Structure 1
Amino acid sequence: MDLLLLAAFLGIIEGLTEFLPVSSTGHLVLLVDLLGFPAPSGKTFEVVIQLGAILAVCVAFFPRLWQALTGVATVRSEQLFVRNILIAFLPAMVIGAGAYSMIRALLDSPMVVAVTLVLGGIAILLIERLNHTPRYHAIEQFPLPLTVKIGLFQCIAMVPGVSRSGATIMGSLLMGVERKTAAEFSFFLAIPTMAGATAYSLYKNWAALDFSAFGMIGIGFVTAFITALLVVRVAIGFIGRHGFAPFAWYRIVLGLVMIGVLALR
């Protein structure tokens, strides 16, 4: 495959999967490592296309983010909104920094990804079938203990294939957050979480970074941004109509297929 087309393809995969409960990291691991698609320009490419996805969620929710930024000094509801996002981010920041080496080792295992895709899909189906009685319908309503617990749920996604958005949303549902609000909180929480993970990855891999292939990196960034922007704009409506079961079945089928491929190899 032409490297420019490959860069565009991997950028699209990143944008499609980053904010859905299907694991973007798992998809990239399977495509890059298992199926033999070399990531253009090494670690740099993987880092930069994540920045494209971060920018997409900032653009999609710019009015809400601007409202929070301009009101955080004086408006109590905006202070609570910002507080809850930052507090939920802290567990991932602390645990992620401490467990970085183990996480990188796990990321190199396609079998871990395949198994966690299946297990995560089953977990989503089970949680979806529970009788949820929402108690929280807005992010600024979250009490502090709830925010911390959601942040801890997000840390489960450090195991590749689990899905950051999936862990955050399912944890929120289990603790009484309304479905649409859970999805929105996952998107907002992605901003500091992904920005922090990207910055830490740049720091850890700075000596190995290769910025020579600017064309491929730029194409991956743009395609990740455009695709993620489209996904973010339609995801909440889709989830409101169909729930999370379609994503669960997709995870299970993909995981089982990959387990079969690995067994044959």
Structure 2
Amino acid sequence: MSYAFPPGGLPDQLQSPEGTAVFTEAYAVLPAITQRDIVTSFLPGWQNTRVWILARPLTGFAETFSQYAVEVEPEGGSATPEPDVHAQAVIFVASGTARLTLGQDFYDLRAGSYVYIPPSAVWTFWNTSDQPCRFHWIRKRYEPGEGTSVPDALVTHETDVPAISMPGCNDTWATQRFLEPLDLDYDFHVNIVNFLPGGRIPFAETHVMEHGLYVLQGTADYLLNKDWVSVGPGDFIWLRAFCPQACIATGDEPFRYLLYKDVNRHAKL
């Protein structure tokens, strides 16, 4: 498996500044070429670490989550990684290795590792190798619901989570669901969606869920509102609620993306 990540660096001076990045009232596309050194930030409490902040709550746009791509150099990391006691998170490792502690337990993470971290969890993250560790970090404030409780932490690997085919698609469209879909304790999901070449979402989905969509592998033509956009590895798509969306996988390899969506709670009135 390969998992895309921001390329960093800086394009050559001969590169045309005209690109395919777009921000509209319904969606945004941040192509991989825009995810360069000059747009990184550093985080309080983290050492030898830089971050691309790809999404954060914006009033009138997507309001429920933030999404980071984090690069931790050797001996880097944090003993106090999360400043918001109400925040829950998913971490997905794109490359390298790291040591994660959750309470009294520790885990050695590698590319493809998936972690759900509940709110108020005590955790640390350190790169103990001699190579950078790169991971995707999605954060959301937990919303209690009637009859629900805070979920337990989860550490797994994508090879341990089967891809479930969608009905009537001849196995060309499948989703790896890391968090139990019918468990209402969860108020968000982060899945990996998989398409074989030619596979597609055969209708324009229009729904209340917000999305952060990071392309891990492959290429596709993606319908966003009324526009078709070509996307590939490392491109990030940010969708507000009710933005119509569909895709057709192109190329000769699977098209795969990491997908955030908010679920399982009443609409605020």
Name the TM-score class by shorter chain: under 0.3
Q: Which has the higher strand share?
A: 2
Q: Which has the higher helix share?
A: 1
Q: Using CA pairs under 8 Å that are at least 6 residues apart, name the structure with larger relative contact order, 1 or 2.
A: 1
- TM-score normalised by length of structure 1: 0.26
The TM-score, its normalising length taken from structure 2, stands at 0.26
